Structure 1
Amino acid sequence: MKLVRSLCALIVLFSLLLLLAASTSEASVLDDTCRSFTASHADIGYDYCIRFFQSDKGSATADRYGLAAIAVKISRASARRTAGRIAALRGTERDKRRKGCLASCAEVYGSAVDGLDEAARGIASRDAAGLRDAVMMLSAARDAPDTCEQGFGELREASPLIAEDEEFSKESAIALAVTSALSPPGMI
């Protein structure tokens, strides 16, 4: 009986050690991803990258593909929120020129949402062609904030979307960098 208890205790201890090792390696995937991202995006930073991923519970156990999918999911939600805000602003804007800028913003954010949907499918495929398409779609989506801000800049007017554009710019940078890192060298 004593042997059985000792054996059970060893099995439980071994199981706990395996869980600890697994959670440490999963946490290091997130840590490594954000450290790698920060190396080329110091302006956005490690802490922002960690907070970005921590907004989705799945990031704690995700592999590199999972982190890319999460980054796209978060970015897509942000683009959709921004598109909703643009629609609300368009409904109340009286100035034709500003309304035209908002129409351009609506178009680029609508395209960004579509591109992010396609990027998610490319990442899910886990194949070279899908990843190449995902990177291309993410690159295009990343232009939405600049394009939106450019219209207001040409009018020499303050953009009502500066906060949303800055946030989406950071989020889409993470999504693009993490997805690009999945691609074998020379593929893209």
Structure 2
Amino acid sequence: MGPSRSLPCLVLLFLVASSRASVLEDECKSFAAGHPAIGYDYCIKFFQASKDSATADKRGLAVIASKLAGAAASGIIKRIHALVASEKDKRIQMALHDCDQLYSQAVDELDGAAKGAAAGTPRGKADAVAYVNGALGAPGTCETGFGEMGVESPLVAEYSEFTKEVYITLDVTHSL
């Protein structure tokens, strides 16, 4: 291909890449408008964990967000296992086991959300939204268990981060 033919191809490739990047930017701007406490920068940072997010369409972003949030829940489960192994107080161990179950369920729900979003059907979207809403309950329920015992949760930082990630996932999934 000569130089005169390659330039239009490069311009077209740039335009496609630019329009895809704007999908991510537009979604994060929309999210930030409704969630100023979390914001645009956090949304962009969240998606930067997946190189595919820069070129994804809305459905792709919903799938990516579900997978990223699911991976975060899996990381919390590993932290819970480490805490259980080192904890001597049986009540706290029981609360951690409850949290383990809640975050394990969240992993399953976020996997279901990714599949629903990927389906690209109205039913798939409805399922994805329902699954993400289910996952959103895990951190609060976990923290409530510690609060009822009058003990500070060792998962406060994880609770905050996971909640933000699930809100992003829910917002992007709703936008489908």
Match of 1:59 among 53, 58, 72: 53
What is the aligned counterpart of 1:153 among 147, 156, 164?
A: 147
Query: Shift in Å at residue 166 of structure 1?
Result: 0.9
The letter for the 2-side match of 1:34 is: C
TM normalised by structure 1 equals 0.90
Query: Which residue identity does 2:100 align to in structure 1?
Result: A
Letter in 2 for 1:92: S
In the superposition, the TM-score normalised over structure 2's length comes to: 0.96
Deviations 1:95-124 (A, max 9, x none): 122112111111110110111111111111
What amino acid is aligned across from residue 94 of structure 1 in structure 2? Answer: K
Percent identity of paired positions between Structure 1 and Structure 2:
49
Runs of 4 or more, structure 1, over 6 Å off, are none
Describe the SS at the equivalent of 1:43.
Answer: coil
Q: Give the corresponding residue for 1:185.
A: none
Q: Which has the larger radius of gyration?
A: 1
* Partner SS state of residue 79, structure 2: helix
Q: Which whole-Å deviations, capped at 9, do the CAs of 1:45-93 have from their partners, x for residues lacking one?
A: 0000001111110011111111111101100000001011112211221
* Within-5 A mapping of 1:1-188: 8-182=2-176
Gaps of 5+ in 2: none
Q: How many angstroms apart in 2 are the aligned matches of 1:119 and 1:11? A: 43
Unaligned runs of 5+ in 1: 1-6, 183-188
Quick one: distance in 1 between partners of 2:82 and 2:14?
48
